[in-house]
Structure 1
């Protein structure tokens, strides 16, 4: 049974977010990624499988090594989805800040 992975469930995990940050700087092998964590290599491999299934990471074979790197179009797709929410919350915080400044000036 092949389960479809949800990209937001994938990035909800702190280890997977850390992996994304690592490979954002440079493509890395599974072993190089695993060396950054105090977990078993099979655990990191499972995280890599999930990130690859969600298309957040892509694999590139170079000789006998497989390198993982970010998939920028997929990352942009996520950023584009989140952007309206960020703007909404920025507007709300700005309104709250204006109310608080107005309140402070009336004291």
Structure 2
């Protein structure tokens, strides 16, 4: 099955794993310790992240280290970025509406 970055970030556990590995390189065992789900479940998430190219494994002795490949996240970043202006405009509009309502309420209370 061909996987892409959007499949990787679709799951909250995988997003949490990406966030952890963005901070530091961890062994598979250390990743498992960070979650309250089973080792096989974490292994499945790591496998999907690897298939998407977001992480690579590096065997050091008996441990497998999980290495983040941040460049593989660029397509998702670019896709999300195109909606940034849209959401900023909507949030600003909502903030202006709330300020207007608050001002009208304050004027009625006087």
Q: TM-score, normalised by structure 1?
A: 0.82
- Structure number with the bigger relative contact order (C-alpha 8 A, sep ≥ 6) is 2
Correspondence for 2:88 among 87, 90, 101: 90
Q: Unpaired segments of 5 or more residues in structure 2?
A: none
Cα RMSD (Å): 1.8
Structure 1 position 27, deviation (Å): 0.6
Picking from 39, 42, 47, the partner of 1:41 is: 39
Structure 1 portions without partners, runs of 5+: none
How many positions carry a matched residue from both structures? Answer: 105
Q: Quick check: 25-34 or 8-17, which moved more?
A: 8-17
Distance verdict in 2 for CA 1:103–1:26, change over 3 Å: same
Which residue of the partner structure matches residue 23 of structure 2? 25
What is the Cα deviation at residue 60 of structure 1?
A: 2.1
Equivalent residue number for residue 105 of structure 1:
103
Q: TM-score, normalised by structure 2?
A: 0.80
Q: Which position in structure 1 is the counterpart of 2:7?
A: 9
Distance 1:104 1:37 in 2: 44
SS at match of 2:49: helix
